[in-house]
Amino acid sequence: MRIAAITLLIMACSAASALARHGHMHGMSPRGGGAFGIVSAYEARMAAWMRREQIAANIHQAKNNVNRMKYAAQARQHGKMRLAATLYMRVALSRPKDKHHDEAKKALGAMADEGRKAMKAADELLQQDQVIEAFEKLDYLKWAYEVVPVFNHEIAQHVNKLHRDPHYQAVLNEPEAAKLLAMGRKHEQDDEACCAFLVYEQAAELVPAASAKQAGERLAALKKDPEIVAAAEECRTVRKCLDTFHRAELVKKSLPNRAQELFKQIVTEAPRDSEVRRCAAEELAKLHVRSKPRN
Ligand SMILES: [Zn+2]
């Protein structure tokens, strides 16, 4: 009798912990921001370069070739190479050709030579095994000199080829893979195997990094437990629905019909007891009231 009671107690506890493990994302409210997507390090760096060069604003300001040449020289002096090259290119391509045409072409030629020197310096870093630093420079050169004739093709070809080299890929992917691996381990410690599963999955894509291989091994181990696989798929669904909810919120005012579609999609796809489903149903009801004809 006593043993039975204890067994029952143990069963109840493990059921509760299983529920907590499966349902932890169910309670996640879509209100108050989210975004689970990981912006790649390269995209973040590119956005920073863009901001630094303020390209759109400066090009807009330069309304004639005199101004373009002036702004281009300033930009070049301040190391804003992409902006400088874009302005010189505008002058070089403008028709009818004016007195600035040759000067602009000459400047672009000089920029190409500078670019080649910088590329060589970056390659030397690579030879000293300073891989991350070298690629930071090389990626920047590819972006900054994208419109500089001839050199743009040379640098793009060179950088793309290096990016395909597995030795460099392993080094370059390692920081992100290590971060994800640590995140996955933390989820496992917190008894969130479903989230660990999804994070390891992301990390495993970053092969041949060492941490990516470790994440792949851990993922394979988790895949052996069908309960965890099912929980991970449910976790994935809830996360996707949270993402859809944010998209719907963004277009609610401008495209109410699109928002309605998205909220409906959540109501169909999200688990019945989830917070995101409840919120989507609420939003749907509000949209419905608003779209009713007044008479
Ligand atoms: Zn989860």
| Distance, CA of 19 to CA of 14 (rounded, Å) | 8
| Distance, CA of 22 to CA of 108 (rounded, Å) | 60
Give 220 Cα–ligand 1 centroid separation in angstroms: 17
99 and 194 co-located in one domain: no
Place of tokens 């000459």: 106
Please check whether residue 65 lies inside any domain of the structure. Answer: yes
Among the candidates 117, 146, 164, a domain finishes at 164
For every residue of 27-48, DSSP letters joined together read: T--STT--------HHHHHHHH
Please check whether residue 59 lies inside any domain of the structure. Answer: yes
3-state secondary structure of 24: coil
Please check whether residue 292 lies inside any domain of the structure. Answer: no
Q: Among 47, 127, 58, which residue's Cα sits nearest to residue 90?
A: 58
151 and 197 co-located in one domain: no
130 confidence band (pLDDT: 50, 70, 90): very high
134 and 190 co-located in one domain: no
| Distance, CA of 46 to CA of 125 (rounded, Å) | 21
150 and 49 co-located in one domain: yes
Contact 49, 82 (CB under 8 A): yes
Give 23 Cα–ligand 1 centroid separation in angstroms: 8
| Distance, CA of 110 to CA of 15 (rounded, Å) | 71
159 and 57 co-located in one domain: yes
pLDDT digits (tens, 9 = 90+) for 216-253: 999 999 999 999 999 999 999 999 999 999 999 999 98
Residue 35: pLDDT over 60 = no
Among the candidates 209, 224, 239, a domain finishes at 224
| Distance, CA of 86 to CA of 74 (rounded, Å) | 13
pLDDT (0 to 100) of residue 175: 92
Please check whether residue 269 lies inside any domain of the structure. Answer: no
Give 169 Cα–ligand 1 centroid separation in angstroms: 29
201 and 120 co-located in one domain: no
Question: What is the residue range of 143's domain?
Answer: 41-164
291 confidence band (pLDDT: 50, 70, 90): low
Place of tokens 């470790």: 214
Tell me what the mean pLDDT of segment 104-119 comes to.
98
pLDDT (0 to 100) of residue 136: 94
The separation between CA 107 and the C-alpha centre of its own chain, rounded to angstroms, equals 35
Place of tokens 């370069």: 49
128 and 216 co-located in one domain: no
Structural domain tally of the chain?
A: 2
Give 187 Cα–ligand 1 centroid separation in angstroms: 8
Give 203 Cα–ligand 1 centroid separation in angstroms: 16
Give 240 Cα–ligand 1 centroid separation in angstroms: 12
Residue 32 tokens, joined: 């108050």
Give 17 Cα–ligand 1 centroid separation in angstroms: 14
Using the Cα atoms of residue 226, residue 227, residue 230 and residue 235 in order, give the sign of their dihedral. Answer: negative
3-state secondary structure of 268: helix
131 and 160 co-located in one domain: yes
Give 25 Cα–ligand 1 centroid separation in angstroms: 6
pLDDT digits (tens, 9 = 90+) for 44-93: 888 888 888 887 777 878 889 999 999 999 999 999 999 999 999 999 99
154 and 178 co-located in one domain: no
Please check whether residue 187 lies inside any domain of the structure. Answer: yes
Please check whether residue 22 lies inside any domain of the structure. Answer: no
pLDDT digits (tens, 9 = 90+) for 167-194: 999 999 999 999 999 999 999 999 999 9
63 and 134 co-located in one domain: yes
Give 150 Cα–ligand 1 centroid separation in angstroms: 50
Among the candidates 140, 164, 188, a domain finishes at 164
Query: CB-based contacts of 91: which residues, under 8 Å, 6+ apart?
Result: 65, 68, 69, 72, 100, 101, 103, 104
**The total number of residues written for the chain in this structure:** 295
91 and 202 co-located in one domain: no
Neighbours of ion ligand 1 (CB under 5 A): 25, 194-195, 235
57 and 146 co-located in one domain: yes
Please check whether residue 239 lies inside any domain of the structure. Answer: no
Residue 25: pLDDT over 50 = yes
Helices (H), the chain: 2-23, 41-53, 55-61, 65-77, 81-93, 101-127, 131-144, 151-163, 166-189, 193-204, 210-222, 226-251, 256-269, 275-291
Please check whether residue 278 lies inside any domain of the structure. Answer: no
